[in-house]
Amino acid sequence: MKFTSRLGRKNIKNLKPCVHGGEVWEAASKLGLRAEEILDFRSSVNPLGPSKKALESINANLTHISSYPDSNSTLLRKAIANRFEGIRVDNLIAGNGSTELFYLFVETFMKKGDAALIPAPTFGEYERAVRKMCEAPKNVKPNQYFLFTPDAFECDLKGAKIFFFYNPNNPTSVLTPPEARA
């Protein structure tokens, strides 16, 4: 009988955890603080908490908690399509945050042997998504001001199946100005 650890794909077994914030509970425990007393700048969460409108919507819909949500996000996709002219409902994908969506993107469009360009340093989940598909991404380095411009990608763009470009970049928070994106 084989152990399950021998059956898994090698690239999956060798994935390293991506730590990018949210460990406030452990830090609070170690420091004798409440999690609410810590500002965690490693994660992209609102330190002020959810908006009043979001809380009102949650409270108004608590009676639906026993039902599965609409897995197609039909009402949300229709609302977005109605708000933005020229976008069809069937061209919209809703997900549980951007992380789920870019994992789906990579799983859908990349295959073994495809190249991906990723700025470095940046949010670690992008590299993890690419490595999950059996590939090692090529890192693109910023200039001395931690700015990623199209020029930085240009020399490696040929042959790349996808490239990630974030604005502003995480964790540097540098915003690429419009004139540098042309």
Residue 103 binned pLDDT confidence (cut-offs 50, 70, 90): very high
Q: Where are the domains of the chain?
A: 1-67, 110-182
Looking at CATH, the fold of the domain delimited by 110-182 is given as Aspartate Aminotransferase; domain 2 (3.40.640)
The confidence score (pLDDT) of residue 106 equals 92
pLDDT band at 181 (very low <50, low <70, confident <90, very high): low
CA separation for the pair 162, 109 (Å, rounded): 8
From the centroid of its chain, how far is CA 39?
21
